[in-house]
Amino acid sequence: MCSYVKFRKLLDIQSIEFIRIMGEIDMNEKCVVLNAKKMNFDGKLDFSMLSSDVTVYDDTTKEQLSERIQGADIIVTKEMPVSGEMIQHFPESVKLICEAGTGYNNIDLEAARKKGITVCNIPAYSTERVAHTAIMMMLNLSSTMQVQMKMLARGNHDNFTKNLQVSHVEVNGKTLGVIGAGHIGRKVMQIAQALDMNILVHSRTPREDEKGIRYVSLEELLKNSDYISMHCPLTESTKHMINRETLSLMKPSAFVINTSRGALIDEAALIEALENGTIAGAGLDVQETEPPEENSPLYTMDNVLLTPHMGWKGLETRQRLVSILADNIKKFMEGTPINVVSSL
């Protein structure tokens, strides 16, 4: 009994010492989340796992930034513009910027590099949910669901009391063009294959054809696809890759779907094409300006399915995001950073 008590005391002392040491380490990890509401709009996320010393702000203005990051080691943002000018005025304590998403074009990477700040992102956290959003849009457009919902909202029951008033077609046997063959693009292809669709892919990285999948030029994809789904990053070379010229290559019956970045599409050219019947319709989870201007015709066009950049916003998706953020921070503090997009 005496030996057991001594053994328990030893364990307790070791446990207390371990907690003390870990507490000292954690105290050096001051983490500031600058615009948590972008991720935690429903209050269901727990940011305490990021660090034992974490401060969470719903939103942060440019004027509030300097005061809020004083003494911070780690800054977490979600699609918040972080310019070179802002980074130049960061305190020397800042060593890591975590972008809480896959895209990081909102951060001046060169300025961060010059300041000695590492930047990391969250790759592949929303693959399934974004892919499901793209497929959801395609299926809804194939049944003109957006018009059916508007009719019901107006009290119009003609689809029930008369013959079906809207277009309603199968997607099996149709051709899906996928622009970008990363994680999300490939998940979309997988689901489309289960729907018995033919698949054309345009990718910046040359690839060999696969069973049921052909890699083709952008022009060939645009000319031959019934549905076109965007899954590439926004860069100087991809900005407005869907424009007046490329829209004119598409079938009049084609639909374009964008769940990637709004500026991949020249929105003015798209609206013109939708109004003129150059293409049949569009599904837009992302827009060139988010949110669109109050007077944007995209809100009311019958051939547009518009959603508020919701592809990544599934609860489980956002919980996964916070978990990967915590891993990024932990690995960085251990000296083995992961998911780095810019460093010294």
Residues serving a catalytic function are 261, 290, 309
Is residue 179 within 8 A of residue 231, CB to CB? The reply is yes
Structure tokens that stand for 179 in this block: 């622009």
Dihedral sign computed on CA atoms, order 95, 28, 326, 15: positive
DSSP string of 227-280?
A: EEEE-----TTTTT-BSHHHHTTS-TT-EEEE-S-GGGB-HHHHHHHHHHTSSS
Dihedral sign computed on CA atoms, order 33, 36, 40, 44: positive
Distance CA 319, CA 47 (A): 10
Distance CA 67, CA 49 (A): 23
Burial of 106 (0-12, 13-18, 19+ CB in 10 A): middle
